[in-house]
Structure formats: structure tokens, C-alpha cells
Amino acid sequence: RTVYLNGEWLPEADAKVSVFDRGFLFADAIYEVTAVIDGKLIAYPGHAARLRRSLDALGIPMPVGDDELLALHKEIARRNTIQEGLIYLQISRGAQDRDFVFPQDLAPTLVMFTQAKRVLDNPKWKTGLSLQTVPEGRWAQRQIKTVQLLYSSLMKTEAARKGYDDVLFVEDGYITEASSANFHIITTDGTLVTRDLSNALLHGITRGSILDLAQRAGLKAEERSFTVDETRSAAEAFITSASSFVMPVVSLDGHKIGDGTVGPTSRRLLEIYIEDQLQQGDA
């Protein structure tokens, strides 16, 4: 693979970041993941906008302009002949001698790489996922897309070893989200319910698109907190993310959701999401 590092295109083995980088020592970094289908960037404007919000929240300067950022996404897909897959971008505050206090003038580290992946025919779309609830244990600023993913990684690994596909974080009895996706239910009267935006969860780009599409398709939608009990008695459930789009969830802690198979509304939302995205331009 050819990766991008601070203005240079390098073979992956030659791309080196300082051991003093604050991304490495303090998880002082943010990231974005953008899908590519048929060489086209999916929901790029939303990802670019959230990247800026994450940087602003941490006071990290944006190292490249808007046009260059888009050009870099297109160029890295081209150089790696990615027709279908993911583009990962990370910006850390930069390197300094180890110190909790950081100066304002550090030069950020910008890294990009691609992952060739078949995002368009995910076999799990047909079977749906089994999730396990776990206590919410991440930091309290989850609206910032930081690389501080240790708790999520530990929980998902433990759940995977028990045969679950993912975890669902629960805080004060209410579901926040999955390890790397937003979580939604369809109630038995056909309403889409998704948690309202706050610092408790990442403001998913796919979540926003789906909410918009669902309303345009005539579905009733509510943005509010909901419990594990409400999820257990829902007709359908699904998660959304840049890499899985709309992924059905068919069981929670071993209990079936609905009839335990992929529901018609989840399936329909997946179809219209892909259709809609492929019609949109990159910028």
C-alpha cells in the first residue's frame, strides 16, 4: 500500500511516526473513516465537516485546506486502485517531549491509508448481528471522534470470543451506541427511534443520512433515549456506520429482537441508503 504521511506518498513500510507523537503517547488524535464504492467517496461532506468539529474540540489546527483534503482522498484511492473499500484518516496533535501540558504550536501529524474491502455485499446484511450489552465505560466526550478506542476494543474482543458480533453500551439504563456504530430500533408501530445527539454518543454521519431518508420515505422518527427493555420488545433493530451502512441486529444478550430475522424496514433502509449515496457527488 501507498500511505500518505505529512505531505509525502510512501510505501507503507517507510511511513514512520515519532515515538514522541502525542497520538501514540496520549491518544491525542482524531480520525475519520470514509467508504469508497465504484471509486466514489461515500458521504464525504459529512465526514469532512465532522473532522473539523473534532479538531476544533481538541484545539488541533487543520493541517490542510478543504480542497486539498478532498484531493488527498481521491488521490489515495487512485494510487491504491481502491474501487471498493475504506479510507482511514488520522490527525494527531504532533510530537513533543513527553508532557501532559502541550504547547499551541505543534505541527500536527496527518496520516492516511486505505483498506481494500468488499463493503457492498456484506454477508452479515442477510443474517443480522447478535449484540451483547455492556456498561458504558468510555470517556464522557464521545461526540469527538478520537482514537481513544481501548475500552471499545477490549469489550468487543471479549464479546467476540463469546460469539457476539458487537457490544451495545448502556449508561443509566439507556443505550448509547455500539462499539463503532450508532444503534436504532423500529417499534412495533413502525416508528424509527434513535438516541438524540449529545456528548453521550458519536454523531454518526450515516445516522444523519438514515434519519433524513427514513423521514423522506414516510417513516415516523423519534430522537430520544431508549432502554434495553424497549429494544427487546422492538420489531426491528439495526446499527449504522460508514463501513456497514445499515446493518440489521437480530438478537440482544441472546434474546431475539422481533422474530429474530432481518426485518423489512432495515432491509429497505439499506437499499435506499446505497441508492441515494451512489447518486450524490463527492463534494
Residue 182 interacting with ligand PLP (CB under 6 A): yes
Residue 54 or 180 having the CB closest to ligand PLP: 180
- Chain-centroid distance of CA 121 in Å reads 18
Residue 144 interacting with ligand PLP (CB under 6 A): no
Residue 90 or 240 having the CB closest to ligand PLP: 240
3 state DSSP class of 126: helix
Residue with cell 466526550: 141
Interface mask toward ligand PLP for 186-225; x: CB under 6 A:
----------------x-xxxx------------------
Residue 95 or 247 having the CB closest to ligand PLP: 247
Residue 79 · residue 108 · CB < 8 Å: no
Residue 177 interacting with ligand PLP (CB under 6 A): yes
- 17-25, 218-226, 235-243, 256-264 -> range binding ligand PLP (CB under 6 A): 235-243
3 state DSSP class of 166: strand
Q: How far is Cα 3 from Cα 13, in angstroms, rounded to an integer?
A: 9
Residue 194 or 265 having the CB closest to ligand PLP: 194
Nearest to 46 by CA among 85, 28, 27, 73: 73
Residue 254 · residue 269 · CB < 8 Å: no
The only residue of 54, 90, 146, 240 in contact with ligand PLP, by rule CB under 6 A? 240
What phi and psi values does residue 134 have, to the nearest 5 degrees? -140, 155
The only residue of 54, 92, 180, 277 in contact with ligand PLP, by rule CB under 6 A? 180
End-to-end CA distance of the chain: 25
Which residues between 66 and 105 bind ligand PLP (CB under 6 A)? none
Is 145 catalytic? The answer is: yes
3 state DSSP class of 81: coil
- 64-72, 98-106, 108-116, 234-242 -> range binding ligand PLP (CB under 6 A): 234-242
3 state DSSP class of 156: helix
> Which residues form the interface with ligand PLP (CB under 6 A)?
33, 177, 180-182, 202, 204-207, 240-242
Mind telling me the catalytic residues? Answer: 145
